[in-house]
Structure 1
Amino acid sequence: MSLGAFHQARGVVWGREGEAEVPWSYGNVEEELEALYQGAALLDFSEQGLLELRGADRTEFLHNQCTSDIRGMPKESWFETLFLNAKGQIEHLGRVFHLGEALWVSSPSAQALAQRFHRYIVFDQVEVESLPRALLRLQGPQAEAVGQQLFPLPPRWGLSRTPGGVVARDELGLWLLLPLPEAAVLAPRLLEHGATPVGRQAWHIWRVERGQPDLAEALGELPQEVGLGSRVNYKKGCYLGQEIMARLEARGQTRYHLMALLGQVQIPPGAEVFREGRPVGRVGTAVESPEWGAVALALLRKELRPGDQVRVGDWSATVAGLPLE
């Protein structure tokens, strides 16, 4: 059975993320949200690519490309990072996995990230290859309990090997980077041990309610303004966008922050936000939440506070803090 057949057997409704077809829902968004908040949600992010970097200069090369300290990264560890442009704006999101003999980088925009790498490889001894792997996510309070029934768990922010793949753990759950045939075998076993299949619709609702930024909020923005400043190591130098990061650390002058908008009707993603006729931000991801109704993440000027009224298109919306409580 393939992963596609696994999803089809469970009544998946397919949707689109960018140009990729993804599992959008399985028919009961409230049940899927319950798995994210209280259980063990199994999500398929296999449309996101995985790159492998090999060669004598792989560590130095990647260190100079991202906001994290690759030189000081222990083997069998991983972390989330950012790839910036010269203005300090986010160009790619990424996760780096240190396998010792190689570095793996997963990213929602892996193909474009690989092109960026090739542009900057001059005399570096670095080889970049796309790996055919499934990226499964087991997330929620019961994720570790489900996972440990089938494989040993690494420490948090550590990783362990499986035949041909990797298990990586964080405070919210597990990433499973596996060959496609193995992933298709493992997925139904995870359901047998208590996981619930969850689509991207519920995941977006969960992250909007929790205030977790993703591509729609992050791309083209400063990390500190979209809540991703923790992915920047301010002690390292020599990477694209480093001068801007150092300036922001010294002066702390950012103009925007990530907030929620509560609307009367569904809020249009990407729309401009106005207050008293003046533009004050833009909408990122917008969802229909069973609990909160029409809600969106928005990048808003810092003077806006919870309770303020704004306009999005022809409708008013209320600013709210994150996470929604």
Structure 2
Amino acid sequence: MTVIEGVHEDHGAAFREVGGRRVVDHYGKPERVHRAVRTVVGVIEMGYGVVTVTGEDRVDFVDDAVSNRVPTTDGEGVYALLLDPDGAVETDMYVYNAGERLLLFVPPNRADPLVEDWRGKTFVQDVEIRDATDEFAVFGVHGPQATEKIASVLNHAASPDGSLSFVRGTMVDAGVTVIRGDGLAGEEGFEVVCAADVAEEVFDTLENRGLNAAPFGYRTWEALTLEAGTPLFEPEIEGRIPNGVGLRNAVDFEKGCFVGQEVVARIENRGRPPERLVGLSCEALPAAGAAVLDGDAAVGEVTRAVESPTLGEPIALAAVDYDPPADLTVGVDGDAVAAERTALPFVDGSDDSARRPRYPDDAA
């Protein structure tokens, strides 16, 4: 469940599950809140699973397992992937070096399996791996005035500058860690991490103190990230080859070890993947899983679609054959409706998503 479920209930929240965890879907009128985030700033409780890795060999152990280089400096983070033996994504994660421990943010249903799997691989290394999800709350702060919002309530530290870097400070009397995000909503963003026992105080500060922030839920989060062209774990990333969803910055092939060399050619960023993730502007709203057609031939499927609150029209992400034509159709209620390939992002905001698909043949 969420860390502050009672607070969300007092705000009139409707709930649902994401990755097996109960999260806020919306507080009512999600389209209005969407516009507030796009124009000012909003706050959301994120439903991460949290894994801590401690011990003298913690950096080397995680670095050997994941696709990107783990930071060695306190205050830095990286987005990385855990791949299966065929090079497909088992989970994605953020890895933060917090001094004496690494802090990993993973999809909520991946924390327990990751801990169990890695505990079986420690051998003689000095590493302790633990599911610490219940000990933390994580709040996302997003919008063109997110930096001003954080500056108005963060004490004893300045807002972090670099993507996925973080600082420690306080909000009123509560200790917090503030991470600069990587633009997943297409807007400036931060994540505020605190102990679970001060989560209500921190959420109240983020919502009401300094520059007010509109609370929003996962319905708005998913619409914002779709407009930004950001692939999310369950609909777009899980089980796919990294370069098939354009995650060129998530894999460092110089480091080795994270996957057998026999599969490197399949996922190397310079290679041409069998599919790519594209944006579609549609005449009607398709469902996830709807067929994408070139004439009578199926060339892929919709991964996620929404009636864009910003654009006022249906938009979708789709996994398709690598080089389909610009004019396609999608299946909607048994009919084939027009869909046009559209450059990502659909909406330009105050930041560009670091996870927006990028391919070797993209124009510079």
**How does the TM-score come out when normalised to structure 2?**
0.82
Query: Per-residue deviation at 1:296?
Result: 2.1
In structure 1, the residue matched to 2:178 is 167
Partner SS state of residue 79, structure 1 = strand
Larger deviation: 113-122 or 145-154?
113-122
Percent identical pairs in the alignment equals: 26
More divergent stretch after superposition (146-155 vs 200-209): 146-155
1:55 aligns to 2:55 (yes or no): yes
1:175-254 equivalence runs, <5 A: 175-192=191-208, 193=210, 194-215=212-233, 216-240=235-259, 243-245=262-264, 248-249=267-268, 252-254=271-273
What is the CA deviation profile of residues 112-146 of structure 1, one whole-angstrom value per residue up to 9, with x for unaligned ones? 22223223222322111122211111111111111
Letter aligned with residue 335 of structure 2: W
Choose from 140, 144, 149 the match for 1:146: 149
1:96-107 aligned at under 5 Å gives the runs: 96-107=95-106
- Where do 1:1-325 residues align within 5 Å? 3-45=4-46, 47-70=47-70, 73-108=72-107, 109-131=110-132, 132-151=135-154, 152=157, 153-156=159-162, 157-162=164-169, 165-171=176-182, 172-192=188-208, 193=210, 194-215=212-233, 216-240=235-259, 243-245=262-264, 248-249=267-268, 252-290=271-309, 291-311=311-331, 314-316=334-336, 317-321=338-342, 322-324=344-346
Per-residue Cα deviation, 1:45-80 (whole angstroms, up to 9, x for no partner): 1x321111011211111001111112x532211121
Mapped to 2, the partners of 1:266 and 1:21 lie a distance apart of: 26
Moved more, 150-159 or 98-107: 150-159
Q: Distance in 2 between matches of 1:155 and 1:250?
A: 28
Structure 2 gaps of 5+ residues are 183-187, 348-364
Unaligned runs of 5+ in 1: none
Report Cα offsets for 1:273-320 as digits up to 9, x if no partner.
Answer: 333333312221222323343332111112214333344662324032
Question: Aligned partners of 1:292, 1:120: CA distance in 2, in Å?
Answer: 50
SS of residue paired to 1:91: strand
Instruction: Answer yes or no: is the 8 Å Cα contact 2:307–2:314 preserved in 1.
Output: yes
Give the Cα–Cα distance (whole angstroms) in 2 for the partners of residues 185 and 250 of structure 1.
44
Q: Which amino acid aligns with 1:285?
A: R
Contact 2:294-2:324 within 8 A present in 1 as well: no
Q: Aligned AA for 2:41?
A: A
The whole-number CA distance in structure 2 between the counterparts of 1:197 and 1:102 is 31
Aligned CA distance change for structure 1 residues 310 and 272 (closer, same or farther; 3 Å): closer
Q: Secondary structure at the match of 2:96?
A: strand
Cα offsets for 1:196-218 (capped at 9, x unmatched): 10111111111111110002100
CA-atom RMSD, angstroms?
2.2
| Aligned length in residues | 322
Partner secondary structure for residue 230 of structure 1: coil
